[in-house]
Amino acid sequence: MKIGGHDIGRRVFIIAEIGNNHEGDLDIAKEMIRLAADSGADAVKFQTIVPEQLVAPSEKERLALLNRFRFTPEQFEQLSDTTRASGVIFLSTPFDITSVGKLDSLVPAFKISSGDNNFPALLIAVAATGKPVLLSSGMTDINEIVRTKKIVELEWRKRGLAPGLALLHCVSAYPTPDSQANLLAIRTLRGVHEIVGYSDHTLGIEAAVLSVALGARIVEKHFTISKKCSEFRDHQLSADPAEFKTLVQRIRAAETLIGDGRKMIMEGERATSEAARRSIAAASDLAAGHVINLEDITWLRPADGLPPGSEGELLGRRLKRNVGYGDRLTVDLVR
């Protein structure tokens, strides 16, 4: 599965979730993009919200906050340009159907938030774009996420599309207590879909790094310039640039350690293999003409002769010449 030019099968895709941590300041948002890129992020992600299409008119405080944080389509185009110039990928989560259309030309993939993974109309609108979908699984059980997955895939089948889907383990608690992170759910998700990831709301970076060992190919972590920017909740559970840089470094190190999962002889083992493996050897001095039996055989390092398991090639055969204790017993010595 590719997101933009990034093949997540080859390298974990790391998203700096800026979300609303810009608090409506376009210049700060642009600076956050540059800082995330410098920290090693593969992508930055925002949230695209039409407040009146998200919360009820009676929610006046929430509406006021969302309107203060809101960017126009033209401002999102500027953010997309800044992202491209910074060498990373621009993403934004649409929270309404209108925003799907506004974002379609700007993003290579769509993220569905946990709050909307049970919202079929939005799921269908996103699937209809024909772009990969990153689907957060917060506030669901496995049966519900399977139903949600089917909604997206059914729309793709109708259109003859298969752009790629990733299921992201997520716990929608801000912050998520360590005792509720439940990282093994990543393996559970892999039981219903091959490509999985992790959207992290814990404090610190340990959960994000561990998720890679459990199979996450996409890791999303909230990002802020400073945890003390304001009283806005998301800053405290976000990684600042230094912490995010460490997160990226540790994920890359984890990828190296994890490898590709194929069980084979590794290059570094080859020298060890000859020294540590055994060969069939004489257990005592043996004279020419002696018929070899099992008591005549021992197994000694290094592995420069017949390997253990080849005894049948020697048993019952006569030696052509004398051999001493520890000498390799090989087929050219018998008749």
CB atoms inside a 10 Å sphere around CB 181: 21
What is the torsional sign of CA 227, 229, 230, 234?
negative
- Let me know how long the chain is: 335
What pLDDT shows up at residue 236? 81
Which residue pairs from 305-313 have beta carbons closer than 8 angstroms and sit at least 24 positions apart in sequence? 305/279, 305/280, 305/281, 305/329, 305/330, 306/279, 306/280, 306/330, 306/331, 307/277, 307/278, 307/279, 307/280, 308/278, 308/280, 310/280, 311/280
C-alpha span between 89 and 108 (Å, rounded): 8
Whether residues 164 and 96 fall in one domain = yes
For residues 230 and 301, membership in a common domain is answered with: no
Using CA of residue 243, residue 77, residue 219, residue 200, what is the dihedral sign?
Answer: positive
Domain that holds residue 184: 7-258
Give the number of other CB atoms < 10 A from CB of residue 237: 19
> Domain for residue 180, yes or no?
yes
Both 37 and 161 in a single domain? Answer: yes
Contact criterion met (CB below 8 Å) for 42 and 89? yes
The answer to whether residues 324 and 226 belong to one domain is no
Based on C-alpha coordinates, what's the Rg of the chain? Answer: 30
- ω before 175 within 30° of 0 (cis)? yes
With a CB cutoff of 8 Å and minimum separation 6, the contacts of 293 are 315, 316
- 258, 290, 322 — which closes off a domain? 258
Q: Looking at the structure, tell me whether residues 42 and 184 fall in a common domain.
A: yes
pLDDT, residue 232, reads 80
Specify if 19 maps to a domain: yes
pLDDT of res. 234: 82
CATH assignment of the domain containing 88: 3.20.20.70
Could you report the average pLDDT of every consecutive run of 10 residues in the chain (335 residues)?
96 97 96 98 98 97 96 97 98 98 98 98 98 98 97 98 98 97 98 97 97 98 90 85 98 96 93 94 98 98 96 97 98 97
Is 222 within 8 Å of 239 (Cβ atoms)? yes
Query: Does a structural domain hold residue 79?
Result: yes
Q: Is residue 169 part of a domain?
A: yes
Q: What is the rounded distance in angstroms from the CA atom of residue 327 to the CA atom of residue 304?
A: 11
Domain co-membership, 174 together with 283: no
How far is 12 from 101, CA to CA, in rounded Å?
A: 28
Q: Identify the CATH number of the domain in which residue 316 sits.
A: 3.90.1210.10
- Identify whether 27 is part of a domain: yes
- Structure-token pair, residue 270: 């080859």
The whole-model pTM stands at 0.92
Residue 189 and residue 78 in one domain = yes
Is residue 285 assigned to a domain?
A: yes
Give the pLDDT confidence score for residue 22 in this predicted structure: 96
Q: Are residues 73 and 150 in the same domain?
A: yes
Looking at 258, 290, 320, which one is the last position of a domain? 258
Residue 116 tokens, joined: 């909307």
Q: In this predicted structure, what is the pLDDT of residue 33? A: 98
Same domain membership, residue 165 and residue 56: yes
Residue 54 falls inside a structural domain: yes
Residues 6+ apart with CB under 8 A from 58: none
Unique residue bearing structure tokens 């009820």: 56
Q: Which amino acid is at 234?
A: D
Last residue of a domain, one of 229, 258, 287: 258
283 and 253 inside one domain: no
Q: Is residue 253 part of a domain?
A: yes
Whose structure tokens read 């080849």? 310
Specify which residues 92 forms β-bridges with.
46
Per-residue pLDDT, 233:
74
Residue 143, pLDDT score: 97
Q: Are residues 170 and 300 in the same domain?
A: no
Number of domains in the chain: 2
- Pinpoint the alpha helices (H) of the chain: 26-38, 60-69, 73-85, 97-103, 120-127, 142-159, 185-190, 206-213, 241-258, 270-276
Residues 317 and 198 in one domain: no
Neighbours of 94 (CB within 10 A): 26
